[in-house]
Structure 1
Amino acid sequence: MGLLTPDLGLVVWTSIAFLMLVFLLSKFAWKPILQTLKIREESIDEALKAAELAREEMGELKADNEKLLVKAREERELLLRDATKAGSMIKEEAKTEAEAITKRMMEDAKAGIEAEKQAALAEVRSQVANLSVEIAEKIIRKNLENDKAQKALVDEFLKDKSFN
């Protein structure tokens, strides 16, 4: 058992060496180590706070981004609706204008045709009247070649016309 149990002198000298080591470490090493640990702890706390702040800002930015996306979608829908309305209005106006132009052209064409028809009828009437006058003139000349026929015609004319 002698090998397993330490001697009293060894225990005393080991304790003295240990206490001196603890004293020297506390005097020279622990303060800088503790100060370094404290600085490190503070920097880690600051980094955690900065990360939390960045996370909050990121959340706010994400929310703002979502709001902007929703607003952009609404504006896009509004623009599309307005463009569709404008296109429909332009199409309807063009259709109405084309119909009006077509109607006007048809009316002008009908008026032109009617004018040509009236002119042709007037020409035909004029020719018929001239022809009738020529025929009547020839008939009258033939019938009035003698004096007796001329006198009978004048008497008949005066009889039809009564002078008041």
Structure 2
Amino acid sequence: MEKLVNLFSYGLFFWQILLFLALLLLLKKFAWKPILNAIDEREEGIKNALDEAENARKEMQNLTADNERILKEARMQRDSLLKEAREMKESMISEAKSEAQQQAQKVIDQAKTSIEAEKQAAIADIKNQVAELSIGIAEKVIKNELADKDKQVKLVEEMLKEITIR
């Protein structure tokens, strides 16, 4: 260390300090300003990017909330439409059942009317046949009874006795 103290020169020290200060001034003028400006620009760019990211995050939250609200409304509309469709289905089924019952009752009534008409026609036909048979039988009996002249006279006398004049 003693050797360094002996070698120390004030002139050399002065020039070294002067060169160092000149170097600092040159660095400040040509290097530090552009470096600091680049750092400031970089910092500003990062700050802007962070602000934009925060805005984008808030916008995404708003969009997510809107999407959830829209989905909720869509679900409510779907449920409402399904409920309405079920009610319409039940109404249509009940109307169809009612109409089918009315049609069935109508068919049954028509069948009863038709059966009754056919029954009356059959009864009338049977009565006509019975009347024709009765007339035929009576005709044959009367022919047998009236074939003999004595029997005819006897029959007329009996009928005259039954008839009373008023």
* TM-score, normalised via structure 2 length: 0.82
Name 2:61's counterpart in structure 1. Answer: 59
- Cα distance in 1 for partners of 2:9, 2:159 equals 189
- Cα distance in 2 for partners of 1:74, 1:3 equals 95
Cα-to-partner distance string for 1:123-155 (whole Å, 9 max, x where unaligned): 111111222223333344444542232132144
Q: How many residues matched?
A: 160
Structure 1, gaps ≥5 residues long: none
* TM-score, normalised via structure 1 length: 0.82
Once the two structures are TM-superposed, the CA of residue 40 in structure 1 deviates from its matched residue by: 2.0
Name 1:30's counterpart in structure 2. Answer: 32
What letter is aligned with 1:17? L
Name 2:51's counterpart in structure 1. Answer: 49
Picking from 133, 136, 157, the partner of 1:134 is: 136
Name 1:2's counterpart in structure 2. Answer: 2
Once the two structures are TM-superposed, the CA of residue 53 in structure 1 deviates from its matched residue by: 1.2
Name 1:40's counterpart in structure 2. Answer: 42
- Cα distance in 2 for partners of 1:4, 1:150 equals 194
Picking from 13, 16, 19, the partner of 1:17 is: 19
- Cα distance in 2 for partners of 1:7, 1:84 equals 106
Name 1:152's counterpart in structure 2. Answer: 158
Name 2:116's counterpart in structure 1. Answer: 114
Corresponding residue SS for 2:121: helix
Once the two structures are TM-superposed, the CA of residue 17 in structure 1 deviates from its matched residue by: 2.5
Structure 2, gaps ≥5 residues long: none
Name 2:96's counterpart in structure 1. Answer: 94
Once the two structures are TM-superposed, the CA of residue 74 in structure 1 deviates from its matched residue by: 0.7
**Does 66-75 or 46-55 show the bigger shift?**
46-55
Q: Aligned in 2, Cα 1:31/1:153: closer, same or farther, shift over 3 Å? A: same
- Cα distance in 2 for partners of 1:93, 1:124 equals 46
Once the two structures are TM-superposed, the CA of residue 54 in structure 1 deviates from its matched residue by: 0.9
- Cα distance in 2 for partners of 1:33, 1:103 equals 102
